[in-house]
Amino acid sequence: MPTLQEVLHAATDLEPAEAEWLHLLVGDWQLIADLSFADLVLWVPAGMEGWLAVAHVRPTTGQMVFFEDVVGRRTHRGRQSLLDQAYLDRRIVRQKDPIFRDDMPVREEAIPVVRAGRPLAVLTRHTNLAAMRTPSRLELTYQSLADALARMIAAGEFPNVSAPTGQRRGAPRVGDGVIRLDVNGVVSYASPNALSAIHRLGHVGDVIDELLAQVVADLLRDESPVDESLAVVVTGRAPWRTEVSSRGASVSMRAIPLTEGGQRVGALLLLRDVSELRRREQELITKDATIREIHHRVKNNLQTVAALLRLQARRLPAGEAGRVALEEAVRRVGVIALVHETLSQGFDETVNFDDIAVRGLQAITEVAKVEHPITSSVDGSFGMLRAEDATAMAMIMSELVQNAVEHGLAETGGSIRVHAERTSDDSGEELLTVSITDDGAGLPDGFRPGTSGLGTQIVQSLVQDLRGKIVWQAAEPRGTQVRFGARLRPLGRDGA
């Protein structure tokens, strides 16, 4: 199914700004469908082939008309005259008599979508009359607001390109609460959900016929800070969003000024109680901060352990087996500390291992106690890894690079090249293949990984933990290549 942008590009000659106008309308028309209790369909002229349906939305507040998707359909002859009239006359046109769809009476009307005086498309509104009854005041108010927005669309005054969408979750919808303001900002109607949201902020008493700005100001008298956009939102003067917090409750508000002939005649306010949403967000923020602090403290403790081991090593003669063992322990502890340092700077339990690989490789080669220079490089990508995979991977690489430095390049110098490749198998499981190649002396005669020292034993154990395999082999034209694979854990929080 092509996107709206692709359809507009293929079927119309609209300018980019005009196409964006339709995108803005479609991005906000759920509001109109809910207020209208009706399906909305957007039609664009398609030359000799008539009209083409490019978007469709159903109401969440009432019964739908179209159970099937109508996007991509051409209009039939009876509806085409309705669309043509609305488009050419740039006015809202309603069918005189209902039409029947599957024994369901449907009222149809066409609303021209106008920008800068030019009609771009036609919006049709389809109302299921079978569910109609004596309307309540809520339904009458909703339909009145929908009609006002329809007139604004036909006049080129809606949507509003300056309306910010905001970054926080919890945008209010029609079902969450609706308030209608007059031109002076006085509440002429408030839905039951809107009244509940205002009362949860701490307001006691009526809201109808009250100045909403005064109601909110009284609630926030002892609260701080206050969003700078609050004043224009609660008076309905600008199409902005804001949030009000008082007495532990939070309410998201969105204002849509209503205009006639370019003059503001009132406003529609959408309200949503987002108290529970904000509480959960705060819990997540606190949890993430706590996890980062734990990683930071673990890193500090590991560095303290490394410093103590380093002091102990200095008390032993250079080259003695005990000192060498302590120095290796210092390096291994430092590698784990590097992973926790990276985790302390992120917002979840995953790390970008490319940074760790480069830093770890440079740290080992820069402090190598060899007379000849050693260069290093990393290519390919490790990508994002879970914390437990990252720790094992860092230890494996540290041991293998250290072995290459000490045994392969100590006498001659040379280069170490690390290559990483991320793939996935047929089941979608993430696979990581890493090769570490040096151009040094090569493997010694009779080399057996399982009996060659503590370092290779650690490597083999960690590779098994990653459900992978490791192979040591001669490199061409000389040197050693170690190649190992790992099956990575999913990156999701609860993946294991």
Q: What is the pLDDT of residues 179-218, one digit of tens each?
A: 999 999 999 999 999 999 999 999 998 999 999 999 999 8
Q: Does some domain include residue 261?
A: yes
CA-based nearest residue to 480, from 441, 430, 429, 423: 441
The mean pLDDT value for 243-269 works out to: 93
Contact call for residues 464 and 450 (beta carbons, < 8 A): no
Q: Does 410 score more than 80 pLDDT?
A: no
Same domain assignment for residues 249 and 291: no
| Cα-based distances in Å from 419 to 158, 310, 388 | 55, 32, 21
Q: Which two tokens stand for residue 139?
A: 């339904």
Q: Does some domain include residue 160?
A: no
Same domain assignment for residues 446 and 488: yes
Q: Write down which residue in 91, 123, 154 finishes a domain.
A: 154
Q: Does 32 score more than 80 pLDDT?
A: yes
Q: Does 372 score more than 80 pLDDT?
A: no
**E strand or H helix that includes residue 94:** strand 93-94
Residues 6+ apart with CB under 8 A from 177: 190, 191, 193, 194, 195, 196, 197, 270, 271, 272, 273
| Confidence tier at 359 by pLDDT (50, 70, 90) | confident
Give the pLDDT score at 222.
62
The mean pLDDT value for 39-48 works out to: 91
The mean pLDDT value for 312-339 works out to: 82
Same domain assignment for residues 333 and 407: no
Give the pLDDT score at 413.
82
C-alpha–C-alpha distance, residues 120 and 14, integer Å: 8
Q: Does 160 score more than 50 pLDDT?
A: yes
| Confidence tier at 452 by pLDDT (50, 70, 90) | low
Same domain assignment for residues 47 and 98: yes
Q: Does some domain include residue 159?
A: no
Same domain assignment for residues 288 and 267: no
Give the pLDDT score at 493.
47
| Confidence tier at 330 by pLDDT (50, 70, 90) | confident
Q: Lowest mean pLDDT: which of 42-46, 168-172, 314-318, 320-324?
A: 168-172
The mean pLDDT value for 306-315 works out to: 85
Same domain assignment for residues 12 and 127: yes
**Crossing angle of the two packed helices 353-366 and 387-403, in degrees rounded to 10:** 30
Same domain assignment for residues 111 and 225: no
Same domain assignment for residues 64 and 128: yes
Q: Does 367 score more than 70 pLDDT?
A: no
Q: Strand, coil or helix: what is 191?
A: coil
Q: What percent of the chain has pLDDT over 90?
A: 49
CA-based nearest residue to 114, from 269, 302, 262, 274: 262
Same domain assignment for residues 12 and 73: yes
Q: Is 383 exposed, middle or buried (0-12, 13-18, 19+ CB in 10 A)?
A: middle
Give the pLDDT score at 225.
64
Same domain assignment for residues 288 and 241: no
Q: Write down which residue in 273, 288, 313 finishes a domain.
A: 273
Q: Lowest mean pLDDT: which of 66-70, 115-119, 142-146, 192-196?
A: 66-70
| Confidence tier at 165 by pLDDT (50, 70, 90) | low
Same domain assignment for residues 322 and 269: no
Q: Does some domain include residue 358?
A: no
Tell me which amino acid residue 355 is: D
Q: Does some domain include residue 168?
A: no
Q: Does some domain include residue 370?
A: yes
Residue with tokens 């309603």: 94
Same domain assignment for residues 266 and 305: no
Pairing of strands 374-380, 414-424: parallel
Q: Does 260 score more than 70 pLDDT?
A: yes
Q: Does some domain include residue 415?
A: yes
Which of 249 and 412 is assigned the larger pLDDT? Answer: 249
The mean pLDDT value for 221-226 works out to: 63
CATH number of the domain within which 207 lies: 3.30.450.20
Partners of residue 74 on adjacent β-strands: 52
Compute φ and ψ for 72, nearest 5 degrees: 95, -5
Q: What percent of the chain has pLDDT over 70?
A: 94
pTM tops 0.85, yes or no: no
Q: Lowest mean pLDDT: which of 97-111, 118-132, 212-226?
A: 212-226
Q: Does some domain include residue 392?
A: yes
Q: Which two tokens stand for residue 429?
A: 């499981």
Domain interval for residue 259: 174-273
**What is the b/e burial string over 215-235, where b = at least 16 CB atoms within 10 angstroms of the residue's CB?**
bbeebbeeeeeeeebbbbbbb
C-alpha–C-alpha distance, residues 281 and 39, integer Å: 34
Mean pLDDT across the chain, nearest whole number?
Answer: 87
Contact call for residues 389 and 486 (beta carbons, < 8 A): yes
Q: Does 495 score more than 50 pLDDT?
A: no
Give the pLDDT score at 494.
43
Q: Does 170 score more than 80 pLDDT?
A: no
What is the domain count for the chain? 4
C-alpha–C-alpha distance, residues 335 and 329, integer Å: 10
The mean pLDDT value for 442-468 works out to: 81
